Amino acid sequence: MTKQPEAFLPLSQATYYILLSLREVRHGYGIMQDVEVVSLGEVILGPGTLYGALSKLEKQKVIEKALVQDDDRRKYYQLTELGKEVLQLEFIRLKSLVENSNVFIKEMEGK
């Protein structure tokens, strides 16, 4: 039985950016580059960390192998339906976290 999307939350910062990068089909190095750009250089993934994360996420059926014909040396990935749900749920969770605390944090800054 596959796990419910809620069971994957909260995601680590690295995992969140990896899933976000798979809004398009990408290979491993493509993911590394996208994560660095989208996170404005905040998250720079090492290949060991990425490879381990991809294997784990694939096993959990959050992502899957994408078929790309003209490159047999690299493995390409895409989000599964479960993966899309996980990413969206995490986005909603983070967003409500920020929105719910926004007023109070601003108050603290004002003092």
Residues in the site for other proteins, rule: CB under 8 A? Answer: 12, 14, 27-29, 32, 43-53, 55, 72-75
The nearest distance, CB 73 to other proteins, in angstroms, is 5
Distance CA 6, CA 66 (A): 24
Structure tokens that stand for 58 in this block? 């694939």
Decide whether 36 or 85 has the Cβ nearer to other proteins: 36
Decide whether 14 or 38 has the Cβ nearer to other proteins: 14
The nearest distance, CB 18 to other proteins, in angstroms, is 12
Decide whether 28 or 94 has the Cβ nearer to other proteins: 28
Nearest to 21, CA basis, from 98, 88, 77: 77
Structure tokens that stand for 50 in this block? 């990425």
Decide whether 75 or 84 has the Cβ nearer to other proteins: 75
The nearest distance, CB 44 to other proteins, in angstroms, is 6
Distant-in-sequence contacts of 101-107, Cβ < 8 A, 24+ apart: none
Structure tokens that stand for 18 in this block? 């990896």
Distance CA 60, CA 3 (A): 8
The nearest distance, CB 74 to other proteins, in angstroms, is 5
